[in-house]
Amino acid sequence: MFMSEQQDTSGKVVSVKDQVVEIEFPHAKPAIYDLLVLESNKDVVFEVYCSSAKPNVFYCLCLTNTKNLYRGARVLNVGSQIMFPVGQELLGRVVNIFGRPIDNKGLMNAKKYRQIHEIKNQADILTKEEILETGIKVVDLFCPILKGGKVGLFGGAGVGKTILLTEVLHNIVGSSKKKAVSVFAGVGERSREGLELYNSLTKSGVINSSCLIFGTMGENPAVRYLTAFSAATLAEYFRDEEEKDVLFFIDNVYRFAQAGNEISTLTSNLPSEDGYQATLETEMAHFHERVVATNKAAITTFEAIYVPADDILDHGVQAIYPYLDSIVVLSRQMYQQGILPAIDVLSSTSNSLHPRIVGRDHFETVLKSKAILKQAESLERIVSLVGESELSVEDQLIYKRARKIKNFMTQPFFVTESQKGIKGVSVPLAQAVNDLAGIIDGRYDHIPEEKFLFVGLISDIKIDE
């Protein structure tokens, strides 16, 4: 018996549990990631997520409101995945996971579309060893970033992850508008922060080289989860078709993991021992292995990662580590002390901090400064008990130079000019290395430590006569 050409691909709703809907397909089974619509209301959209334990029944993610759903409602299979618009038309725009504008600038006339779960042939992956300068001293010195690499910004709530991410976007995209584009994925973050980012990029003129894709905190977990894949699809297009270097920003990867966990709970999957979904590592791999450098161009990824309860050992945080080339850790203690950006250089690291990549001078300067900071850390308790004057002359010198190094790592940002009233600066890496070496060698022992706070270069310090 031959199947008819027009096989019935429809299904019917069996149950609704928050955003996860069980749909039975008695005739033709759908493929994973297929897009479905409600027959009575085409605006109600689903994505096939996985099969359930029942025959011919699939768990599907409802990407819209579920109030119009009821048991027995008829569902139609579109026969393709979510198709996301790609191309130059998206630059300067803010869109959702379907590529629909949410910036009140009218419709887009995108001519090309791509499936958001399309698996590319990654045989042409290229590993470059070219340093990408951000203009932020503490990042370029202690956590140098490779073009085509992945950078993780780790920190708890309210320590400056988003501001740091926005400053990097401002500095790099602003200096290479013709050569590079940026794609920003807002996953599970506040809509207020998204608006602030949009206004900041508009003011600086960077928005015309950028596209922002949002699935905010108020969206359901299915939308938050898929936002990362829609953004990755656009980044891949610019890399492969336009052959442009892409700066890919995602805020926040932990929210991506969290959304996957919510979906896993709703689909009745048993969690692993740490409480996260058993598929967490697979989900992280599906996302991270798409945003890589190829022979055509590079995608350099900057990821903000929320650290719940400041616990860096949380499994949702640790699952991200294997994909990162540079790790930037933000410290609450430093933030409270007014050291901004509040980056803990002793906890931060980078695979590219090697003399062959950054040069012998840079490498040795960083090692010496870390040694001084480590020694000063061990002296901290003595100072808190008996005072700095009780240290030996040599220890006093180390302690003072460590304070100057910490203060010198502060920097006024362009994106906080309106809040702080201090003009932002971008610092060339070569000059930052030279200034840091000068502090270590004692060339600036005569300058008070408070003078090093929020300056670009040491030459900018004004010494009172």
Residues carrying an active site annotation: 161, 189-190
* Helix axis angle, 253-266 to 221-240, nearest 10°: 130
The C-alpha angle 107, 225, 94, rounded to 5 degrees, equals 25
Read off the tokens for 215. 């699935």
Read off the tokens for 333. 């203690």
HEC readout, 246-285: EEEEEECHHHHHHHHHHHHHHCCCCCCCCCCCCCHHHHHH
Bridge partners, residue 378, by sequence? none
Q: How many residues does the chain have?
A: 465
Amino acid letter, residue 326? S
Amino acid letter, residue 198? Y
Q: Are strands 11-17 and 20-24 parallel, antiparallel or unpaired?
A: antiparallel
Task: Please tell me the distance from the alpha carbon of residue 392 to that of residue 397, in angstroms, as a whole number.
Answer: 9
Give the position of tokens 């958001």.
116
Task: Please tell me the distance from the alpha carbon of residue 287 to that of residue 283, in angstroms, as a whole number.
Answer: 6
Residues 24/74, Cβ–Cβ less than 8 Å:
no
Burial class (CB in 10 A: 0-12, 13-18, 19+), 183: buried
Bridge partners, residue 9, by sequence? none
- Residue 132 parent element (H or E): strand 131-132
For residue 359, CA distances in Å to 284, 353, 367 come to 33, 9, 13
Phi, psi of 419 (to 5 degrees): -85, -40
Burial class (CB in 10 A: 0-12, 13-18, 19+), 154: buried
245 contact partners, CB below 8 Å, separation of at least 6: 147, 176, 179, 180, 181, 239, 297, 298, 299, 300
